[in-house]
Structure 1
Amino acid sequence: MNYSYIVKGSFINRPNRFIAYVQILTGESKGNTVVCHVKNTGRCKELLLPGATVLLQYHPEASVLGRKTEYSLIGVFKMREGDTLLINMDSQAPNLAAYEWLLGCGSVCEIKREVTYGQSRFDLAFQLIEKEESGNIRHIPAFMEVKGVTLEEHNRALFPDAPTIRGIKHIEELIHAKKDGYEAYLLFLIQMKGMTGFSPNERTQPELKKALQKADAAGVHILAYDCQVTENSMTVDQPVPVYLD
């Protein structure tokens, strides 16, 4: 999950969910104020504060492609007491990062993206490779839904930062898939490092916590992984404990 043409900027404001005004801090356009596409429709109020240092991806082909903006806001440096945390904010990055991660797993094959099942479209579908005691190899069909996580409090990753009806629907569909004989996975991809655990954000949406507990009881695999995040890349890294209580 790599980016090109990355520059730093200073966040000014966000008049709506889709755009932000940023002053460029590095590169040939240093000092200019530009309009950026925000690649995350979440609230992100704790991240996008006036003066925050953000990462922008420059799109040199913007005019050819008919883009309205030449820049996309993809990351932010969150100032915390005693340190600075780099967070990838690109909501499209988790799906691709998870896909690349599965490609490197020797226990899966036939990986597909954006697969329809029932009334939903899951991010990933694949075959689990299982070796039986007899030595035979069998393939088990599986679905995975991926949710990007950018909210943290005191080194605990939380999801969501805004109510998500669509997220509840996906959880219900994963439960149905499990009952129909598929393996079902819900991956919370934490777009940062240094988290000690993951929890549903009960203050924002208590229904999600109940849905996750229901899914866990039904046999849906609920996973959380953190990511190695740099200014121009994001890679799935290590599992993080999941707390549903």
Structure 2
Amino acid sequence: MQFIPALKQGKLLKRYKRFLADIQLDDGSEITIHCPNTGSMRNCLFEGETVWFSTSANPKRKYAHTWELMTTPSGGLIGIHSGNANALAEEAINNGIISELAGYDKFSREVKYGEENSRIDILLEAKDKPACFIEVKSCTLLEDGQGYFPDAVSLRGQKHLRELMHMVSLGHRAVLLFVVQHTEINSVSAAAHIDPEYAKLLKEAVISGVEVLAYRCEITSNEIHLAQACSVRV
């Protein structure tokens, strides 16, 4: 995924009201940009560090700029736009990056499924194999050298694990895919210290046959894409 037009940069002043962030440009002026991440953004907010933002030509938008990347104090990059995770997964599947998800000839997004009124992020189908239901999660939380998900209690995430287990019970293939949008994360684990119920359900899901994959993004100020697998600790 390329950023077209090229991203612009500024310094983070603060994030507030979940959807807004104030940044300072190189000329000293300040602007408010849209924050496309409704989560806690735990350990992703570094005041005074460089942020990268895109600009929309849509005149109807109240805030023309969207926060895309955050620079860490150690020089890493974080993909702030959690909504990009599904697009990054789709791009990687179509380009054969995720070898575990190769060999399907039909790709669908946002298909209704399950027992709890859910929509699957990605559904892969082929005539000669079971349907593959894929839930995509964006992982950006880094603590003590370890990547974690979720970064806050996630009832929605818990529901999705139950739905994936149900798909396995029906004879389908079910996959939880962590899209790691943080260049300093090399391993992902359930955040039992944040959401113990999610960690418990994830262990149950793996035992039931749900597959868990994690792929790490390569990120520059011009491009972000899934590049390589990283380990998962359940």
- After TM superposition, is the score higher than 0.5? yes
Structure 2 residue 87 is the aligned partner of structure 1 residue 96: yes
**2:99 equivalent in structure 1:** none
Give distance in 2, aligned partners of 1:24 and 1:110: 45
Residue type matched to 1:7 in 2? K
* 1:92-133 CA-partner distances (Å, limit 9, x unpaired): 11100101111123422201111110221010001257xxxx
Query: CA shift at 1:150, angstroms?
Result: 0.8
* 1:133-168 CA-partner distances (Å, limit 9, x unpaired): xxxxx1321110000011112331111111111010
Structure 2 residue 4 is the aligned partner of structure 1 residue 4: yes
Q: Which moved more, 1:46-55 or 1:33-42?
A: 46-55
- The count of corresponding residues between Structure 1 and Structure 2 is 226
The 5 A counterparts of 1:18-97 are: 18-25=19-26, 30-59=27-56, 61-63=57-59, 66-79=60-73, 83-97=74-88
Partner of 2:177: helix, strand, or coil?
Answer: strand
**1:16 equivalent in structure 2:** 17
The alignment-based identity, stated in percent, is: 32
**1:134 equivalent in structure 2:** none
**1:139 equivalent in structure 2:** 129
**1:243 equivalent in structure 2:** 233
**1:220 equivalent in structure 2:** 210
**1:161 equivalent in structure 2:** 151
Unaligned runs of 5+ in 1: 130-137
Give me the TM-score of the superposition, normalised by structure 1: 0.88
CA contact (8 A) 1:102 1:111 kept: no
* 1:158-181 CA-partner distances (Å, limit 9, x unpaired): 111111110100110011111111
CA contact (8 A) 1:54 1:73 kept: yes
Provide closer, same or farther for how the CA distance between residues 107 and 24 of structure 1 changes in structure 2, counting only shifts above 3 A.
same
**1:132 equivalent in structure 2:** none
**Which ranges of 4 or more aligned residues in structure 1 deviate by more than 2 Å?**
192-196
Give distance in 1, aligned partners of 2:172 and 2:142: 32
Q: Which moved more, 1:155-164 or 1:182-191?
A: 155-164
* 1:169-198 CA-partner distances (Å, limit 9, x unpaired): 011001111111110000011102343311
Which entry has the higher C-alpha Rg, 1 or 2? 1
Structure 2 residue 109 is the aligned partner of structure 1 residue 113: yes
Residue type matched to 1:24 in 2? L
**1:126 equivalent in structure 2:** 124
Residue type matched to 1:122 in 2? I
Relative contact order: is structure 1 or structure 2 higher (C-alpha 8 Å, sep ≥ 6)? 2
Query: CA shift at 1:47, angstroms?
Result: 2.1
Partner of 2:197: helix, strand, or coil?
Answer: helix
CA contact (8 A) 2:122 2:135 kept: yes
Provide closer, same or farther for how the CA distance between residues 154 and 128 of structure 1 changes in structure 2, counting only shifts above 3 A.
farther
Q: Give the alignment's Cα RMSD to 1 decimal.
A: 1.5
Structure 2 residue 145 is the aligned partner of structure 1 residue 151: no
CA contact (8 A) 1:128 1:142 kept: no
* 1:45-73 CA-partner distances (Å, limit 9, x unpaired): 422232121111111x131xx21101011
